[in-house]
Amino acid sequence: MKAITPPLLVLLVVGCGASTSSVRTVRVEETRVVAVRGQGGETEVHVLSADVLFDEGNTHLRGGRCLDAVERYDTLVREFPSSRYVSPALYNAGLCLQEERAWEPSVAHYQQLLELRPGSSDEKHARLQLAEGLETLERWEAALENAERTLGRDDLSSDERLEALARRARAVLGQGRNEDAARLAREAISYYRTRSGDEVIHDEYFAAMASYVLAETVRLRAEALTFPDGSVLEQHDVLDRRAALLLEAQRAYFDAIRMTNAHWAAASGYRIGAMYRAFFDAITQAPVPPPPRPMTDEQLALYRDSYRGQLRDRVLPLVRHAIRYWELTLTMVERTGVESEWTARVREDLEHTRSMVLAAGPAATVIQ
């Protein structure tokens, strides 16, 4: 049973002999009286109002009780859909869940805000926060749409516009459109480098992200080149082209590292090492070129083993490069104290690659 008081009350402020000119109309929040059955079967009466629910949600939020805060905010939105607190309640709930890395419900709250309160004062910041969740969940189509809607605003600061530009490039990369992603990443980097005066960008996080995206497009182009089942000359042609792209990607990753953002520096350091390891694997697993003369099955087996062994020893420095870059990345992480998903990848791949080198035998040893 619910009793609803009107959301707009007329309060008469009068004194002795007051005229109708002293009447003021004051907007107050709607209140609901809710009768519920308690655990013991008794009837309990709860008085709900949007402002009280919002204040309680904020109190829980400040106290680190995210689930309790979200429960208050969600009750507010459900019971008082016309309240002026709907937009900030949904934003705060999304932010709280984002801090807890509860990405699905966080994204849902931001999207609900954009649906229920388009044009609210929270819309811009909701879109900026929503972008991280959509990227984490790899919802690239929605992430691209959100970035483009953000870029369509005329109230972005230079930092916010750079963020939207970098996120747009990353969303396009996530869709597998490498050439478009490279173009958009360069556009973001150019925007960053050409800001001056009051528009100078001080936080380099998204400039580093754009540089990382650009490097990723080059790496993916390199790794798309596979070694053919052909002659040594044909394989050398692929090797040369892939090696050139590897160096181009490495320079782009170095650009991201120079931005001195710990997150993207770790990601770039990991990728450089992983590129060398992937290059080593691709070379050593490439088809063996045809022998220079006819051979028996036994001779052919010896020829293939010998070819792969010589090839392994010649390209082993690539693995040493990988190990070196991963070690440098871990040193940087220890210095900055910023742990991330990239740190775990570095440690796992570093341990695996060291074990592989030790198992390769005496010719492949010596990595400190």
pTM, 2 dp: 0.79
pLDDT of residue 50: 93
Indicate the average pLDDT of the chain.
84
pLDDT of residue 46: 62
Whether pLDDT at 4 is above 80: no
Whether pLDDT at 308 is above 60: yes
Which helix (H) or strand (E) element contains residue 9? strand 8-12
Among 212-216, 227-231, 242-246, the least confident range: 227-231
Break the chain down into helix, strand, coil percent, rounded to 5: 70, 5, 25
Query: Cα angle vertex 248, ends 242, 252, to 5°?
Result: 140
Give dist(CA 21, CA 15) in Å, integer. 12
| The CATH number of domain 46-137, selected from 1.25.40.10, 3.20.20.70, 1.10.10.10, 1.20.810.10 | 1.25.40.10
pLDDT digits (tens, 9 = 90+) for 267-299: 988 888 888 888 888 888 888 888 888 888 888
Whether pLDDT at 8 is above 50: no
pLDDT digits (tens, 9 = 90+) for 165-198: 999 999 999 999 999 999 999 999 999 999 999 9
pLDDT of residue 63: 95
Of the candidates 225, 325, 324, 220, the one whose C-alpha atom is nearest the C-alpha of residue 267 is 325
SS3 320: helix
